[in-house]
Structure 1
Amino acid sequence: MNDDSRNLTSKVDFAKHQISVPRIVICVLISMAVLQCAVFLQHGKFGSPAEFPVPIVVGIVIGLVIAFVEHNVRASHNRLHMELAEKEKLYDTLKLSEERFLLATTRSFVWDWDIDKDTLYLSPGFAESLGYSDAELKLAMNGTTANLVHPDDIERYRQKLQAHLSNPSVGYINEHRFRTKSGQYKWFLAIGQSVVDETGRAIRFNGTTSDVSDRIDLEAKLNQIQKMEAIGTLTGGIAHDFNNLLAIIMGNLELLNDEIKDPDHKQLIKNGMDATQRGAELTRNMLSFARKSRLEPSVIDLNQLILNLKSWTERTLPATIKIETSLLAGLWPVDVDRSSTESGLLNLILNARDAMPKGGNLTIETSNVRVDEDYIEQRGEEIAPGRYVLLAVSDTGQGIAAENLENIFEPFFTTKPVGSGSGLGLSMLVGFMRQSGGTVRVYSELDVGTTFKLYFPACEHTEIVKTPSASISPKRKSDDRSTILLVDDNIQALTAYRSMLMKAGFDVVDAISGDDAYAKFMENPSVDLLLTDIVMPGDLQGTTLSNALRKIKPDLRVIYISGYAAEATVHGNGLRAKDIRLMKPFGQTDLLRAINKALSSD
């Protein structure tokens, strides 16, 4: 409270409690009446002022004294009450200020290092933020906070500190990790400045340290998203041309294989076709990591998928590895791509095999779980709260080092020897799971084992889609040659596909663009099936070509072929539910199976 406010309060207080004339008169009259009573008791009668002047004068004086005393007591009481109220107000303000300070410093801490005395003050809360008690923190520091710094950050930490102390005029700022009691690390931002003596030498070093782990985590997620977008853009850009090349190689090798009889030559051809398939798989894995692979979700029972996969993987694993399953009865169905799910699970099984060269136990479990907002917030997941089906794959192998856990989902990251793995299996898995609305968690301990947990969104539908049969016979007579309109702007691929179809007994009308195909269809509208690439030169692309031809022939069957799965959605929405899509490169068997299926559909 400043002087002006105190003076103003005093003036207001005096104005409110000035002595009033009626109060003085009352006090004087009361005093005189008391003294008159005393005169009566002494003399037996009341006296006039002339007869008894002393009681009158004394009564007036006493009355005035009483009035002034009563006034001062009342004024002092009021002032005391106001001071108490003011103190309570100041106390409440101070308490609020302390609460705000504690709130502001929940994730920020103060340090003060007396360099000459080598004493360090750390504000309360720093130890707690790392999970230590004050005594435990002193033991962990062992005299210096450098003992808490992450090994990868310690050199930069010391360099920046030394540079600042050598030249205190330059402010100190650094980000580094401190080790928590659990052995994990948190990111902190330190900002400081030194106090110098008359020679310019730093004698004290103080500042603030703030917990910035959340910001670092968000930046890491943003970098991961940008990396996936970059890989997706790069892969998508080359996928079409690369898969076209693979398709030409695959087609010509299969045609050559049909003509060659020499077993040694056929083996060479097979090696070439296997290499082509591996090249296609590499592209698919890259697209899967970038969440741009083509998925065909269907409602499936994960328990049945696991049992089917277990029945044949057991025969391929060493006898020293025992597979155990714990599958929940009444497991919720999931709506996912069956092929990608099988590939992801198989990859985890093979990784578990590699982690147990001397044998061990491999356990596959399923359960129904509910994920709430707290779980998502604590773990920073990018999934929606709700019902999920958990598939866990655990091994008793070597475990994964803590420094590698952050990188295992990166594309091309692997700890296996050269030639033993591409480093794309787990990146493909996490891309598939996120594209499906789920997520992957991993828990590992060296020399104990590793557990991968896959969270699949539970499906509301209960009808399980059965796996389609491997082959479908065409509903056409042997002498009824179906006519196929084949469209591809790549002449070499077009030639290979045409040879395959003609050898299979189909009549083929080929075209090198959508516009060319439309003109040839107008000349021969008896075409039974359109087999078309999606991205081509000209006005009519794959989907727009099919839309134009179906206006003339609504029941026209269509198969789309593409080198990049996303092209079918980017360049139009003319696909029908019964239309079929083939990803390049594909073999003759896949092509004929797709044609038979299209021609056999009602």
Structure 2
Amino acid sequence: MQQRVPIAGSVPGGNPGRGNAETRALRSALAAARVESARLAARLEAAERQLMAGRALVSARRAAGEEDAVLGEALEDLWSLTTELEEANSQLARETAERRAELAAVDSALRESEDRVRLAHRYAGAGAWEWDVQSGTMTCSAEYRDLLGLDPDACGTKEDWLQSILPEDRASAERAALRLLDEPGTPEFEVEYRARHPGKGILWLAGRGRLQRDAAGRPWRLTGLSIDITARKRAEIALRDANENLRREVEKEVAAREAAQAGVTQTLKLEALGRLTGGVAHDFNNLLAVVSAGISLLARTEDPARRERLTSSIASAAQRGADLTRRLLTFARRQALRPEPIALGPWLADLGGMLSRSLQADIAVEIATPEDVWPVHADPSELELALTNLALNARDAMPRGGTLRISAGNTTLDGTEEPDGLQGDFLRLEVSDTGTGMAPEVLARAFEPFFTTKPGSGSGLGLAHAYGFARQSGGGARVRSREGQGTCVTLLLPRAAEEASAPAQAEPAAEERPLRVLVVEDEEAVAGLVLDMMRHLGHAPIRAASPALALEMLERGLEPDLVFTDVLMPGGMDGLDLAARLKALRPGLPVLLTSGYGGAPARVAAAGLPLLRKPYTLGALREALAAAADVRKPG
């Protein structure tokens, strides 16, 4: 009796989800070997039966003594056939033995393949499963049940699989399965979810599978693996927590460093403020000494020549004080600028001619301006003052003469070339000299106000003014220098959006006429002087101590020719607010602003009104009033 070989499905621990090529090839070979073995066994039994029957017939004939020739020939043929059958039987026996050996080898290979799969699943923390889509049933391998700690009959349907997933991940896992069924072009199944093991707690699993469809394209079977990825997920969570802790530590460290840096910066600011206030106090004390001493002497002398000298000294001190204040405001970016397009070619040529006449004879002035240089958007008077200050600094650095060069060029910045992150089109104005240059420690403080290496001369505001002007204009300032090799100061100023217009021809001064001026000034002393100056010029001033009072006077019927108002005043309304109200109430009424501080430079510039900077002379007041009153003339 033949030994029965177990069929594939009866292999212990059989995996319903096997789909690898090796296992399938072994199963196919095993089935073919079984068929061939059965066929050979049937042939062998038939040959054995024929052989036994022939031998029995020959023996019976010989015992009966039948020796006739015909019978002899038949017996010979039968004996020959019997021999052939014996040989065939031997051959068949050998083939049967070979087939059985092949069958045993295939069966052994199949068992080894199944053992390798089970071993791989065990060490990979994986379990196989198969979902019959048509019937809705699921079959799980022993490894899958061990992976989740399930009972042998726990994995029966798709609903059983969903119940094994934590409620938080159940919906996403079901969506992944339904999407696989609804989208024909997506045969691969991938999902990560959490499940609870009775002994190990919560596990992270990664489901991977492939959907097979029948000939009609309908979903048939989904075969796949579930892999334990708990260790990887825990490592990711630990890494994320470590990164978060590191981020918090870095933030704490950065905050501590920023606090320390802020303390250092505050200390430096206080030191700079101390130097600034000390410099201002020193310079203004000198100017006030000239003014106070000059006034005392002026009251005690009757000599006209001496009175003229004293008056000139007092006026010079006042002008120096005004210049000092103007430079400080520019450095602090509190000066109200009036930028406009400037054609640098002719403008720098005129400035170069003025500097050639002003500087000492042994200093050569060179102006280099390309023909294609862009127009610059800047305040002409402040730009002239900045370049003049730089030229005077260069002159002081060349006591034995040299060359002063002012050049202009176009440049486009992308935000990475300059420390201030400037972007766009700019004009690069460079003022260079061949003088003594600066030491590194001096260069580091070049833009500080009241820092000077020339005791007894200069205020230390030349470079500071140029820096403040460039920054307030929307650009920047740079300086480079080496001892014995001269200095180069670079101003970066924005390009004008439109071309510069030709300078307007000066018109003949209009004939002055008496004006009724509403003066809005809160300071009593200043208001008294302004009223006296206007009366001296032949005008009829009327004072209002606040913008609110000025509006009240206008509502009562006052009809002034012009409103002359300070910009900064206490209360809820300043001069700019008053100008805005007057624009709505009296559209044709001219307004002239005045300020010594310019605390709102952007608002002053946006107002588009004429501005007379304090302090001002009688002549400057006359020109400003005439220009402002002339605005409402037709034409």
Which TM-score bucket, shorter chain as reference?
0.5 to 0.7
Matching residue within 465, 468, 471 for 1:434: 471
Determine which of 323, 334, 348 is the counterpart of 2:365: 323
Structure 1 residues 412 and 526 mapped into 2: Cα distance closer, same or farther (>3 Å)?
same
- In structure 2, what is the Cα distance between the partners aligned to 1:335 and 1:419? 36
Q: Which amino acid aligns with 1:381?
A: D
Query: 1:12/1:338 Cα in 2 relative to 1: closer, same or farther (>3 Å)?
Result: farther
Choose from 450, 456, 460 the match for 2:493: 456
TM-score in terms of structure 1 length: 0.59
* Contact 1:286 1:424 survives alignment (8 Å): yes
Which of the residues 368, 379, 385 maps onto 1:337?
Answer: 379
Report deviation, 1:537: 5.3
User: Alignment identity in percent?
Assistant: 30
- What are the residue-to-residue correspondences of 1:460-471 with 2, within 5 Å? 460-464=497-501, 466=503, 469=506
The structural deviation recorded for 1:526 is: 4.4
Taking a change above 3 Å as real, the CA distance of residues 31 and 223 of structure 1, as seen in their structure-2 partners, is farther
Q: 1:29 to 1:570 in 2, by over 3 A?
A: closer
Say which of 378, 398, 404 aligns to 2:436.
Answer: 398
Of structures 1 and 2, the one scoring higher in RCO (CA 8 A, sep 6+) is 1
Distance in 2 separating the partners of 1:433 and 1:420: 24
Question: Distance in 1 between the 2:555 and 2:117 partners?
Answer: 109
Q: Which has the larger radius of gyration?
A: 2
What is the alpha-carbon distance in structure 2 between the residues aligned to residue 260 and residue 594 of structure 1?
34
Shift of 1:281: 2.4
Quick one: structure 1 residues 410 and 51, their matched pair in 2 at CA, closer, same or farther if it must change by over 3 Å?
Answer: closer
TM-score in terms of structure 2 length: 0.56
Equivalent in 591, 607, 627 of residue 558 of structure 1 = 591
Q: How does 1:24-173 map to 2 (within 5 A)?
A: 24=30, 26-27=32-33, 47=87, 49=89, 53=93, 56-65=96-105, 68=108
2:624, 2:467 → 1: CA distance?
30
User: C-alpha distance in 1, partners of 2:329/2:322?
Assistant: 11
CA offset at residue 340 of structure 1?
A: 1.1
1:344: how far off? 1.4
Match of 1:138 in 2: none
Q: Give the C-alpha shift of residue 516 in structure 1.
A: 4.6
- Among 377, 399, 408, which residue is 2:416 paired with? 377
> Equivalent residue for 1:151?
none
The residue type equivalent to 1:64 in the other structure is: A
Cα root mean square deviation, aligned: 5.2
Structure 2 residue runs without a partner (length 5+): 1-13, 44-82, 124-249
Decide which of 598, 620, 631 is 1:590's aligned counterpart: 620
Q: Deviations over 1:539-574 (max 9, x none)?
A: 76434545666667543332222222135766998x
The match for 1:308 among 350, 368, 371 is 350
TM-fit CA distance, 1:367: 1.7
Judged with a 3 Å threshold, the aligned counterparts in structure 2 of structure 1 residues 455 and 12 are, in CA distance, closer, same or farther, namely farther
Structure 1 pair 309–72 and aligned structure 2 pair: CA distance change class (3 A): same
Shift, 1:462, TM fit: 1.4
1:503/1:323 CA distance change after superposition, 3 Å = same
Shift of 1:396: 2.2
Match of 1:444 in 2: 481
Give the distance between the partners of 1:45 and 1:260, measured in 2 at CA: 167
The match for 1:411 among 449, 461, 474 is 449
SS in 1 for 2:445: coil
Q: 1:472 to 1:505 in 2, by over 3 A?
A: farther
CA contact (8 A) 1:543 1:572 kept: no
Asked if the contact 2:373/2:410 (under 8 Å) is kept, the reply is: yes
Match of 1:482 among 512, 515, 524: 515
| Local SS of the residue matching 2:359 | coil
Aligned partner of residue 303 in structure 1, secondary structure: helix
Evaluate the alpha carbon distance shift between residue 31 and residue 537 of structure 1 in structure 2; reply closer, same or farther with a 3 A threshold.
closer
How far did 1:449 drift?
Answer: 2.7
Structure 1 gaps of 5+ residues are 1-9, 37-42, 84-188, 190-209
Query: Deviation of residue 349 (structure 1)?
Result: 1.6
Change (3 A) 1:273 1:30: farther
Shift of 1:508: 2.9
Superposition deviation, residue 444 in structure 1:
2.7
